[in-house]
Amino acid sequence: MTRAQWLADLEENGYVVIPNVIPQSSCDTFQELALQLESFHGFKRDDITTWTDEHLPFGVKGGLYNRYSVNHEAFVWKIRTEPGIIKIFEQIWRTDDLIASFDGINVTLPINAATGRKDMEPTTPWPRKAFSDQEQQCKGLTMLQILTKTHETSPSSSSIKALQT
């Protein structure tokens, strides 16, 4: 996808998916660092009996962690300062004078009786509920939110649904 194409898609649709922004080796490192959850309450990635609220830090249903200053963990700063991500924002805003923030991370564990969490029901889609960080009263683009995926996803995996503007 060329720069001109993804910028046109962003302007037309209000969202864009830009694949392969972060090298796979960096994604692998970020995935490993995110599993520092193992330092909390006895969670072990290889033991699904520990995939419970009792063994995990407090999070929002579905794997969103936004407490314990997680947004300032070293690996989160590394994601936010990844050259490919910075380059995209420099192109969108036409400056290298950027401010970036993270409000949390998502570490999604499978939820199912056979191979995943058993202490909660699968998260259901939010029907007819749209979420936007964009100020509706302002004209033009004033803010962007990104979702950085460090692993392969599919329609059957946890993901996000983007709505055209």
pLDDT tens-digit readout, 35-94: 776 777 888 888 988 888 888 888 877 678 888 787 888 888 888 889 998 999 899 889
pTM here is 0.72
Is residue 129 situated within a structural domain? Answer: no
Is residue 70 situated within a structural domain? Answer: yes
Is residue 160 situated within a structural domain? Answer: no
Query: Shortest CA distance to 142 belongs to which of 83, 99, 78, 85?
Result: 99
pLDDT at residue number 95: 92
Q: Domain of residue 34: give its range.
A: 18-106
Is residue 11 situated within a structural domain? Answer: no
Q: What total number of domains does the chain contain?
A: 1
Q: What is the average pLDDT value for the chain, to the nearest integer?
A: 80
Query: Shortest CA distance to 76 belongs to which of 97, 96, 109, 105?
Result: 105
Is residue 152 situated within a structural domain? Answer: no
Is residue 118 situated within a structural domain? Answer: no
Q: What confidence tier does 97 reach under pLDDT thresholds 50, 70, 90?
A: very high
Is residue 80 situated within a structural domain? Answer: yes
Is residue 153 situated within a structural domain? Answer: no
